Amino acid sequence: MMEVVLTVTAVILSLAAAGAIVRIAIGPSLLDRVLASDVLLAIIGATLCIDMAVNRHLNNLMLLVALSIIGFIGSVTVARFVADRREHPNES
């Protein structure tokens, strides 16, 4: 059963990561890209969790805790220094 679950979640998370990367590529503003990169980080954390659950080890646990502690610093920094440089303010 675990092999089926691993396959299904791998497909789902690959599609999700592809969607987040598309939003990073096309996202009209900097804040959209920051938000999409946050989602990509959450998806990577989800893959780490699923790897631990399916293969029954705890090698990624410290990485996961570190991600949840310091993962917000990047988006906070970018949001702190963002400026509005758009030609048409409502195009988002």
Partner 1 sequence: MNPEPSAVDTVIDAVSAVFMVVGAVMSLGAAIGLLRFPDLMSRMHAATKPQVLGLFLLLASVGLQLRTWWVWPALFVAWIFQVLTVPVSAHMVGRAGYRTKHLHRELLTTDELEAVVQKAADKKTADGRAAGGQEPDERAAHDGPADDGASA
Q: Which of 30, 25, 21, 44 is nearest to 74 (CA)?
A: 30
Query: Min. distance of Cβ 21 from partner 1 in angstroms?
Result: 9
Q: Which positions from 12 through 51 interact with partner 1, judged by CB under 8 A?
A: 12-13, 15-20, 22-23, 29, 31-32, 34-36, 38-39, 42-43, 45-46, 49-50
Tokens, residue 90? 């409502």
Q: In degrees, to the nearest 5, what angle opens at C-alpha 26 toward C-alphas 28 and 14?
A: 135
> Cβ contacts of residue 74 below 8 Å, gap of 6+?
34, 37
The footprint of partner 1 (CB under 8 A) covers 1-2, 5, 8-9, 12-13, 15-20, 22-23, 29, 31-32, 34-36, 38-39, 42-43, 45-46, 49-50, 52-54, 56, 58, 61, 64-65, 68-69, 71-72, 75-76, 79-84, 89-90, 92
